[in-house]
């Protein structure tokens, strides 16, 4: 089944998917149904349907043109699109796939493979806790649990007021500061569970 689907993708768009790239697609995506029905960072099936405005569609197309509509620039295009729109729902992926002349399944596979990309809206201040080896052994899990407790949300969720969302990163390249937390692009090093409240308080009045 895996080889069959990957073979079909190769014929459709000329992109050579490996089994590793396609594994997550095959687990969660029924190709007989529209792609927009599936959107979850936790890889659970959730029915959603979004409507993109013409302005957003044109913005996505402009981003693709910046990279000459090259399929090899997909990751850069996804980064730029997420930076502009905040997240990458299935309908956004379909616009990108059409512009690059690749299958929606291929774009979906890349989005779900990298933890940086999200298919759900992030909060105004996205919080990312590094769970790489150095951070993990120095207590990142306890820091993450404290963020969950104080915000009342789980991984991949956004607070009710829309201010904070919570996610994990595998490594941010600052192992000497472990455990590391990012709020947007601001880096906090050597964070302890006791320091979580102070971090959140700094953004609550913003």
pLDDT in tens, 11-34: 344 444 444 544 444 344 434 333
User: Does 97 lie in the same domain as 148?
Assistant: no
| pLDDT recorded at residue 50 | 61
User: Does 101 lie in the same domain as 59?
Assistant: yes
Segment 139-146 shows an average pLDDT of: 98
Domain end call among 113, 135, 158: 113
Q: How many CB atoms lie within 10 A of CB 37?
A: 14
Q: Which candidate, 108, 76, 106, places its Cα nearest to that of 92?
A: 108
Angle at 187 between CA 132 and CA 115, to 5 degrees: 45
DSSP state of 158: B
Task: For residue 140, say if its preceding peptide bond is cis, omega within 30 degrees of 0.
Answer: no
Share of the chain above pLDDT 90, in %: 57
Strand partners, 186: 183
In a domain, 166, yes or no: yes
Domain residues for 172? Answer: 125-204
In a domain, 53, yes or no: yes
User: Residue 37: is its pLDDT beyond 80?
Assistant: no
User: Does 16 lie in the same domain as 95?
Assistant: yes
Residues 89 and 147: their CA atoms lie apart, in Å, by 25
User: Does 156 lie in the same domain as 92?
Assistant: no
Share of the chain above pLDDT 70, in %: 76
Lowest-pLDDT choice from 27-36, 50-59, 60-69, 177-186: 27-36
Segment 89-105 shows an average pLDDT of: 97
User: Residue 70: is its pLDDT beyond 90?
Assistant: yes
In a domain, 118, yes or no: no
User: Residue 97: is its pLDDT beyond 50?
Assistant: yes
Residues 166 and 127: their CA atoms lie apart, in Å, by 5
* Confidence band for 204, pLDDT divided at 50, 70 and 90: confident
Q: What is the pTM of this model?
A: 0.56
* Confidence band for 121, pLDDT divided at 50, 70 and 90: confident
User: Residue 35: is its pLDDT beyond 50?
Assistant: no
Strand intervals (E) in 31-151: 125-130
Higher pLDDT, 89 or 20: 89
Contact between 135 and 125 under an 8 Å Cβ cutoff? The reply is no
State how many domains the chain has: 2
Q: Which residue has the tokens 């102070």?
A: 198
In a domain, 120, yes or no: no
Instruction: Give 40-55 pLDDT, tens digit per residue.
Output: 333 333 334 567 899 9
User: Does 108 lie in the same domain as 17?
Assistant: yes
User: Does 106 lie in the same domain as 8?
Assistant: yes
Lowest-pLDDT choice from 34-48, 129-143, 148-162: 34-48
In a domain, 49, yes or no: yes
């Amino acid at each position: 089944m895996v080889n069959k689907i990957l073979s079909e993708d190769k014929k459709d768009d000329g992109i050579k998917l490996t089994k590793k790239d396609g594994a997550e697609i095959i687990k969660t995506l029924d190709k007989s149904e529209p792609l927009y029905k599936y959107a979850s960072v936790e890889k659970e099936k959730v029915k959603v349907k979004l409507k993109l405005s013409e302005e957003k569609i044109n913005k996505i197309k402009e981003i693709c043109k910046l990279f000459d509509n090259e399929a090899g620039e997909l990751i850069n295009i996804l980064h730029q699109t997420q930076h502009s729109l905040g997240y990458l729902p299935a309908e956004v992926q379909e616009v990108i796939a059409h512009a690059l002349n690749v299958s929606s399944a291929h774009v979906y596979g890349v989005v779900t493979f990298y933890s940086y990309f999200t298919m759900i809206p992030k909060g105004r201040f996205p919080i990312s806790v590094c769970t790489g080896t150095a951070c993990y052994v120095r207590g990142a899990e306890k820091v993450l649990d404290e963020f969950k407790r104080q915000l009342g949300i789980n991984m991949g969720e956004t607070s009710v007021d829309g201010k904070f969302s919570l996610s994990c990163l595998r490594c941010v390249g600052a192992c000497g500061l472990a455990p590391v937390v990012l709020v947007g692009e601001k880096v906090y090093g050597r964070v302890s569970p006791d320091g979580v409240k102070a971090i959140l308080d700094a953004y609550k009045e913003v």
